[in-house]
Amino acid sequence: MAEHVCVSCNMCCDGSMFDRVEVAPSDLDRMSDRSDVRTDTAEGYRYLKQGCGRLGADGRCGCYAERPSRCRIYNCQLVGRLGSGEIGEAEAHETVREMRRLKSEFVDLCRVEVPATFWPEQEYGARGAFCAMRDAFDAGRPFPQSVQTALFTAWFAYLAFVREHFEETFGDLAEVAARYEAQRAIREKDRAMA
């Protein structure tokens, strides 16, 4: 039951919720392909960048048997509620459909209104759209008030829904801004390493 919901969602793997997943030393022993494992030299740990390149077009994990331990232990709030019987599978799928609708509305609006030069090299779904929007604002890109209102309305509708039904991984606005800055630093570091 939960597997079907996970496959229809993928937010924890597509970069919407996390920008990286830590890879423990014991995970490396289990992984046959380590080519996409990176090392954060400042923090001293290994990670897989999200959206995960191992996520298949069918929504399934391409390395499920070898996936990192962080992936093995992670369950979002929705899957927890499904597992406890608090909600049924039909309600869980409807929640995922609504999340996808809100996410698409925000990302599609960003694609129309935010110039491509502000988008990350690898698009990270809603997280990438948010970073592109923030980068455009930070660079002083002028947006008409109606566009600003539409962008932030779509973002906060999506964010509120995710916080209510999935998990409070995005945090408050100050935390969002801090994560945005951290992600920008990671992107700059990744570009320098390339």
Quick one: pLDDT at residue 124? 61
Percent of the residues in the chain that have a pLDDT greater than 90, as a whole number: 21
Quick one: pLDDT at residue 173? 45
- Cβ–Cβ under 8 Å, residues 113 and 151: yes
Quick one: pLDDT at residue 178? 59
Q: Structure tokens of 76?
A: 């979002």
User: pLDDT class for 90, splitting at 50, 70, 90?
Assistant: very high
What is the per-residue pLDDT across 46-57, written as a single tens digit (0 to 9) for each?
Answer: 888 888 888 888
The mean pLDDT of 79-83, rounded to a whole number, is 88
Percent of the residues in the chain that have a pLDDT greater than 70, as a whole number: 84
- The two most distant CA atoms of the chain are separated, in Å, by 53
Q: Where does residue 35 rank: exposed (0-12), middle (13-18), buried (19+ CB within 10 A)?
A: exposed
What's the rounded Cα separation, in Å, for the pair 24 and 132?
30
CA 162 centroid distance within chain? 11
In terms of pLDDT, which residue wins out, 98 or 72? 98
Partners of 55 in the β-ladder: 61
- pTM over the 0.75 mark: no
Relative orientation angle of helices 89-113 and 145-165, to the nearest 10 degrees = 160
User: pLDDT class for 154, splitting at 50, 70, 90?
Assistant: very high
In angstroms and rounded to an integer, the radius of gyration of the C-alpha atoms of the chain is 17
